[in-house]
Amino acid sequence: MNKIKKIIILGGDPNSINSEIIIKCWKKISYSIKKRIYIIANSKLIKKQLHFIDRSIKIKTVKSINEKSKKDELKIININLDFKDPFNIVPKDAAPYVIKSLELGHKIALNKNSAGLINCAINKNLLLKKNVGVTELLAQKCKIKDKSEVMMIRNKQLAVCPITTHLDLKDVFRSIKKQTIIVKIKTIHKQFIKLLKKKPKIAILGLNPHNAELRKKSEEVNEIIPAILNLKKLGYYISGPFSADTIFIKDYKKYDVIVGMYHDQVLGPFKTLFKYNGINITLGLKYLRVSPDHGVAIDLIKKNSADESSLLDCINFINKFS
């Protein structure tokens, strides 16, 4: 009989709403899911932050995902962190804490008894590398060298994927290459079938306003259209390039995935349409990784008003594979 796979949640940025939304989710999920969940965080920090949210939650510090606990005990794999104020961890302490958490989460996620990894929000400045977010960092740790990893933001109505992720706009055009587009679309197609059991209908956007009117030296003509034609020959259901300023009016409803050339080109419209009703799925890693589709929300700390629905969606999604 197969063992029930464990769900790993990274506590993420210590200066955030993460503790609050973890606890709110904990109170909503079933015991069958609770017993599979292990939080990578600092147990003392979580206990201190809990005093402002719900003192009734019991915490047990464990050393590995092989340890069990009593019913309703929140299991925490401890990461050391020195702090005076549990709601104001200075960057010099927060950065190594976050990096250690990610390293341990990556290591555990590779375990065959792990269903995958959920990481709560992190201020990317703590990763100490320019243009590197969690997506890129975990891809590096998985030794992905062909840029085939993909960020997908998804709910039941739509998924969006940017070809480039955390690049400054002035650097985006250099990364719009035919081969990069092809390998990322192949990842999307393969993982969509694996995770969601269907072949996706994919729409791809151009880079420039009005697709640069398809001028000869444009990225649309030289890189994007050749990639689309290549993928069509391989039997992919892919259309485009579409103009980014109109597809999200109504035509997006015809597709499973909208692929844009840069981060805000697709994430901005997605969040306008669906707010935070979505989860971030990294495709192409050696394991399943998801995260809530929101940031650390420093302005909401200690107000007990944060919306936990995105993290709850992450837990329910990854639970399907546990």
Instruction: Report how far residue 305's alpha carbon sits from residue 286's, in angstroms, rounded to the nearest whole number.
Output: 35
What is the per-residue pLDDT for 322? Answer: 66
Instruction: Report how far residue 117's alpha carbon sits from residue 219's, in angstroms, rounded to the nearest whole number.
Output: 36
Q: Would you state the torsion angle of the CA atoms of residues 37, 295, 245, 158, taken in this order, to the nearest 10 degrees?
A: 10
Strand segments, DSSP code E, in 175-222 are 202-205
Write out pLDDT tens, residues 148-183: 899 999 999 999 999 998 889 999 999 999 999 999
245: which 2 tokens? 């300023």
Across the range 118-128, mean pLDDT stands at 90
Give every CB contact of residue 19 below 8 A, 6+ residues apart in sequence: 11, 45, 46, 49, 50, 53
What is the per-residue pLDDT for 51? Answer: 77
Instruction: Report how far residue 128's alpha carbon sits from residue 203's, in angstroms, rounded to the nearest whole number.
Output: 34
Q: Are 173 and 207 in contact (CB under 8 A)?
A: yes
Q: What is the DSSP string of 103-117?
A: HHHHHHHTSTTEEEE
The answer, yes or no, to whether residue 303 has pLDDT greater than 90, is no
Query: Where do the domains of the chain lie?
Result: 1-144+285-322, 146-284
Using CA atoms, how far residue 317 sits from 184, 226, 247, 289, in Å, is 22, 35, 27, 11
Top CATH class of 146-284 equals alpha beta
Write out pLDDT tens, residues 71-116: 789 999 999 998 888 888 999 999 999 999 999 999 999 998 999 9
Which of 53-62, 88-97, 222-231, 295-304 has the least mean pLDDT? Answer: 53-62
CA-based nearest residue to 260, from 250, 268, 249: 268
CATH of domain 1-144+285-322: 3.40.718.10
CA-based nearest residue to 6, from 37, 34, 45: 37
The answer, yes or no, to whether residue 1 has pLDDT greater than 50, is no
162 upstream amide cis, omega within 30 of 0: no
- Collapsed DSSP state (helix, strand, coil) of residue 197: coil
The answer, yes or no, to whether residue 2 has pLDDT greater than 80, is no
What is the per-residue pLDDT for 54? Answer: 74
Q: Are 19 and 54 in contact (CB under 8 A)?
A: no
pTM comes to: 0.90
pLDDT band at 132 (very low <50, low <70, confident <90, very high): confident
